[in-house]
Amino acid sequence: MENPGTQVEDAVEHCLEVAATWLAWDGRPAVSEDGDRVYTPHKAVRRIADHLVDHLAEVEALLTGVPTEPDRWHASLVTVDADWARFTEIDLDEAHQRLRRLGRTFALRIAAAGPAEWDVPRGDSWTLREIAVHLTGIRWYADQVGVLRR
């Protein structure tokens, strides 16, 4: 049985493939497909990482049987000053390091929990498999900036 966490690693790789084109970013934000938010390369990387951290913490809490940390992220509603910075080769390298480690840590945690835990109902929370499937949606953040051409 395939670890559902590997889907998250695949989603991270998609994000990094798209991010590799962001060196061509001209400083203009992209408007999200729903028209509600703007995205820059740094904001997309921040949201991908935050989403991974959030659900990794959720999985740990669920497996430990303690309440999850309440969601108080400002999330995509804000664009912080650092989000407007130029996206450089070093930023891309750092994104590779950060996002791959987070995706792999998530996949390893799901693997360590084992197949017997992946579909266990957890009250009002999602199952571990449902969390993993949800996390494949991190692609959306990268796709909001999109593939950029020089």
Tell me: the pLDDT tens digits for 136-150?
A: 999 999 999 999 997
**Residue at 34 is within a domain:** yes
**Residue at 27 is within a domain:** yes
Domain span at 11: 6-69+76-145
**Residue at 93 is within a domain:** yes
Query: Cα separation of 39 and 37, whole Å?
Result: 7
Residue 20 DSSP class = T
**Residue at 150 is within a domain:** no
Number of structural domains in the chain: 1
**Residue at 26 is within a domain:** yes
| Residue 133, token pair as written in the block | 């499937």
- What angle, 0 to 180 degrees and rounded to 10, lies between the N-to-C axes of helices 128-135 and 41-64? 180
pLDDT tens string 7-65: 999 999 999 999 999 999 999 999 998 899 999 999 999 999 999 999 999 999 999 99
**Residue at 95 is within a domain:** yes
**Residue at 1 is within a domain:** no
Query: Cα separation of 3 and 47, whole Å?
Result: 24
